[in-house]
Amino acid sequence: MKATVDPVNTPVTWPDHIASIRSDTERMAAAYEAGPIDAPVAGCPGWDVRRLVEHMAYIHRWAGFAVLNGRAPQDGEVAIPPADGDETGIDLAAWLRAGGRKLADDLAASDPEDDTWHVFPAERKMWVWARRQAQETAMHRWDAETATTGESSLDPLIAADGVQEYLELGLPRVLSREGVSAPGTALHLHCTDVPGDWVLSSVGGTCSVQAGSDAPSDAALHGTAESLILVLMGRADRSSIEILGDAAVVDEWLSLPGW
């Protein structure tokens, strides 16, 4: 299943993505230190905060390897944290900070248009890594803070950028990986707090994402950028957003598997 995207020009820049990786890594490490580290993570069923931080620290290193080497790492080429009770007594918060800092530094030393390798349905340019890691770090920081304190928030512009990334990368990847056809309806997504308007549709086997609200649609989702991305990523239920038009159309689109 192919997808085409008419992108929204969000005001989030390459330096913004790198700065977001740095700040959200620090906040995630602080949430881990505050604990409890065995708190369950609702957005990642079966995981606790320690497992979440281990995952994020590993992904920073995995992505960092690709940034530096232009290829996927092989077994053993990316460090993993020692298991619980290891005699080294690893400081997992420090391990997370170190990996996030190095990834951000290596991206900052690159150019957004440098060639690279990645697994996503987008051009193989370095900017894709910066945005992807900014978004993953932000979402898992939100997961960690919510698990440990019961509350968190996302920057509205980063959240809108996350909606755009989901439509560009997440949606076509889901359709391809799962062999799922996109609904034959049109769904409008509208951010109520920052710029962001998209219309999803499907014609002739191709999923199309158009910027703006001029294209006709069968239903619409209106909400803050944070609410929209949390619903798309399975972190919030639909009560946090306004549904207009045919609710069955919304069900069709939101029942697609997550990425």
Regarding whether 170 and 143 lie in a shared domain, the answer is no
Q: Which domain holds residue 70?
A: 11-152
Residues 6 or more apart in contact with residue 206 via CB below 8 angstroms: 1, 2, 3, 4
Regarding whether 109 and 168 lie in a shared domain, the answer is no
Regarding whether 80 and 16 lie in a shared domain, the answer is yes
Whether residue 5 is contained in a domain is answered as: no
pLDDT at 1: 41
Whether residue 205 is contained in a domain is answered as: yes
Whether residue 92 is contained in a domain is answered as: yes
What is the residue type of 190?
Answer: H
Regarding whether 199 and 148 lie in a shared domain, the answer is no
CATH number at residue 93: 1.20.120.450
Q: 194-205 pLDDT, tens per residue?
A: 999 999 988 776
pLDDT at 161: 96
Regarding whether 179 and 126 lie in a shared domain, the answer is no
Q: What is the number of structural domains in the chain?
A: 2
Whether residue 208 is contained in a domain is answered as: yes
CA 257 to chain centroid: 15
Whether residue 1 is contained in a domain is answered as: no
Q: 120-174 pLDDT, tens per residue?
A: 888 999 999 999 999 999 999 999 999 999 999 999 999 999 999 998 888 888 8
Whether residue 147 is contained in a domain is answered as: yes
> What are the tokens at 105?
């530094």
> What are the tokens at 250?
């919304």
Whole-number Å distance between alpha carbons of 230 and 236: 5
What's this model's pTM, rounded to 2 decimal places?
Answer: 0.92
pLDDT at 2: 45
Regarding whether 99 and 162 lie in a shared domain, the answer is no
Regarding whether 29 and 137 lie in a shared domain, the answer is yes
Residue 206 pairs in a beta bridge with 2, 203
Residue where a domain stops, chosen among 118, 152, 186:
152
Regarding whether 131 and 164 lie in a shared domain, the answer is no
| HSE (side-chain half, CA atoms, 13 Å) at 229 | 26
Whole-number Å distance between alpha carbons of 12 and 259: 22
- Please tell me whether the peptide bond between 36 and the residue prior to it is cis, using omega within 30 degrees of 0: yes
Whether residue 2 is contained in a domain is answered as: no
Whether residue 110 is contained in a domain is answered as: yes
Regarding whether 138 and 80 lie in a shared domain, the answer is yes
> What are the tokens at 225?
């950028």
CA 240 to chain centroid: 19
Q: Is 68 exposed, middle or buried (0-12, 13-18, 19+ CB in 10 A)?
A: middle
Regarding whether 38 and 137 lie in a shared domain, the answer is yes
Q: Would you say the C-alpha torsion 226, 229, 232, 236 has a positive or negative sign?
A: negative
Residue where a domain stops, chosen among 152, 168, 202:
152
CATH number at residue 217: 3.30.1050.10
Task: Check residue 147 and give left, alpha or beta (phi > 0: left; psi -120 to 50: alpha).
Answer: alpha
Regarding whether 76 and 61 lie in a shared domain, the answer is yes
Q: Per-residue DSSP letters for 1-37?
A: -EEEE-----S--HHHHHHHHHHHHHHHHHHHHHS-T
Q: 25-58 pLDDT, tens per residue?
A: 999 999 999 999 999 999 999 999 999 999 999 9
Regarding whether 162 and 131 lie in a shared domain, the answer is no
Residue where a domain stops, chosen among 152, 176, 208:
152
Strands 206-211 and 2-5: parallel
Q: 1-22 pLDDT, tens per residue?
A: 444 544 455 679 999 999 999 9
Collapse the DSSP code of 227 into the 3-class scheme (helix H, G, I; strand E, B; otherwise coil) and give the result.
Answer: helix
